[in-house]
Structure 1
């Protein structure tokens, strides 16, 4: 009887030990499963951002980031400020939350984003404030077509839409390659100016617009101008050197009212007789570029910006043909 009791006791212990080991196994497997479902991205400011799931509530402070998010099939809860309709029609009813120059914290708080997309230089100072509101701030910039491709890749990782991102990049590269095959051999000499009422600067090759100009077959006459300390992608207008370079075309771009910028620039030229000796001025080859494509990062629509420049340069070639 005693032996039987001991046997039953040992059997019960083995049973209980086996039962208690099962929960331990499950506890260790759950964290492993959650780590596999989570992911981490690194933005242009070298900040690492970890996500347990794909963020659904995203706010963007500039048009390029907005364009890429919608191109990847996602949506925004907050979009950049605009004086007119947004560049993305689907975002018309989305709350405006400021810009990279001035974040509207009240509206950011209202839309409760998981992620705010900002500029790696201008918005680095805003990271602690945005994080205090419970959101991550993913920072990028676009000073070249390559930067835009990296933005697409990064946002594709963030949204777990890597395949769609790679397809967007491939489409962009194919478009640029096809354009390159049709560019005229002779480059068009261009003065590319960023303007706001009373302020005009020459865009340099290290700016996005300067990069677009060169890819589209233009020659930037300000390429060796000294960059400004505050705005290293731009230079002061040097009238003497501009006259010497004899640009074939003068292109203006602006964030604001394009007509007002052009009128102000023409008025400034009237006050300097040297400008009026330029063939580009005498022949009226001064154009204002669309602000949604050149006033800021156009995102995936960078191909449309290139098409416009190529068309302008081809028109010059046609005018010069016998």
Structure 2
């Protein structure tokens, strides 16, 4: 993607069964990260086994989920800089240098922080900036971004492997997986799934929505809903006619969308939404964007909260495992 060696097979999609693939992921994750760094020519310091022996002194975290996990592991003092999507915890952007948006990074800004390690979520860029960071001899770890329950756990372990916190990351991943398992049990009790449309933004009266294989599609599924935009791939515009035909019962938007934060009455007065069941019920759910779509340790709780908003009559319980240490 960025003109560098492809991820090794251990981090690529597998044809093994889900259960077997999970065991392979957990057992060989550290080795896979090591191979990724070695293949990229990014290892410039001693490496103990499959993971870094010590936490690098100056980390630049690119991707909100990367920052969130590092904070959850208690290593925030090692962070020299973050990208603008690192909005949780709130002090990250207040206390750390901002290197720009995850897909519009400045290589000069990253390198000016003299990092010993740059951890970038899959999709970070642009490619030229990533190449410049790599060519400068800085260790660069690429973290696969997966929105499945197993993928989130693997993501946490991958970050832990490159910051020298393998065991704490394993514990956090196991706790997160337990929360997903509890969520699945709650989801199984939903008798009739509601039709949901995620609207990323509204520009010139046209809705940009989350289709299949998007983070929005994943969170809707985890929350027990049906994504009515599944005929669309990724985040793309949806016509007024298609929205009306899809008949969403619930509209989901981010609470801090800069492009549109209109009240429900204004949204449901638009031609594309006025004839939907969601407009009749005035069913509009707004949630924090990183919480909803970040797919880090908080993802099970975010899906649970979305489920509670989609099915208010069901009295969805809090996750008991959410309070676990």
TM-score (norm 1): 0.72
Answer whether contact 1:116 1:138 (CA < 8 A) is retained. yes
Shift of 1:169: 1.4
Q: Which residue of 1 aligns with 2:298?
A: 301
- Distance verdict in 2 for CA 1:315–1:56, change over 3 Å: same
2:99 corresponds, among 94, 97, 100, to: 97
Answer whether contact 2:268 2:274 (CA < 8 A) is retained. yes
Instruction: Work out the CA distance in 1 between the residues paired with 2:263 and 2:143.
Output: 32
Shift of 1:112: 0.8
Q: Pick the structure with greater CA Rg.
A: 1
Structure 2 counterparts to residues 224-239 of structure 1, below 5 A: 225-227=231-233, 233-239=234-240
Answer whether contact 2:268 2:279 (CA < 8 A) is retained. no
Q: Which residue of 2 aligns with 1:25?
A: none
TM-score (norm 2): 0.72
Instruction: Work out the CA distance in 1 between the residues paired with 2:268 and 2:104.
Output: 32
Instruction: Work out the CA distance in 1 between the residues paired with 2:199 and 2:146.
Output: 16
After superposition, give the CA deviation of every residue in 1:220-262 in whole Å (9 maximum; x if it has no partner). 1111x132xxxxx2233133333233211011137743xx513
Structure 1: segments with no counterpart, 5+ residues: 1-37, 228-232
Q: Which residue of 1 aligns with 2:66?
A: 65
1:160 corresponds, among 153, 157, 164, to: 164
Q: Which residue of 2 aligns with 1:147?
A: 151
* Secondary structure, aligned partner of 1:151: helix
1:214 corresponds, among 180, 198, 221, to: 221
Answer whether contact 1:142 1:208 (CA < 8 A) is retained. no
Q: Which residue of 1 aligns with 2:274?
A: 276
After superposition, give the CA deviation of every residue in 1:14-44 in whole Å (9 maximum; x if it has no partner). xxxxxxxxxxxxxxxxxxxxxxxx9962459
Q: Which residue of 1 aligns with 2:6?
A: none
* Secondary structure, aligned partner of 1:126: helix
Shift of 1:119: 3.7
Instruction: Work out the CA distance in 1 between the residues paired with 2:314 and 2:57.
Output: 49
- Distance verdict in 2 for CA 1:130–1:151, change over 3 Å: same
Answer whether contact 2:285 2:309 (CA < 8 A) is retained. no
- Distance verdict in 2 for CA 1:256–1:143, change over 3 Å: farther
Runs of 4+ in 1 over 6 A off after TM superposition: none
Q: Which residue of 2 aligns with 1:261?
A: 260
* Secondary structure, aligned partner of 2:120: strand
Answer whether contact 2:251 2:283 (CA < 8 A) is retained. yes
* Secondary structure, aligned partner of 1:282: helix
Answer whether contact 1:194 1:253 (CA < 8 A) is retained. yes
In the comparison of the two structures, how many residue pairs are matched? 269
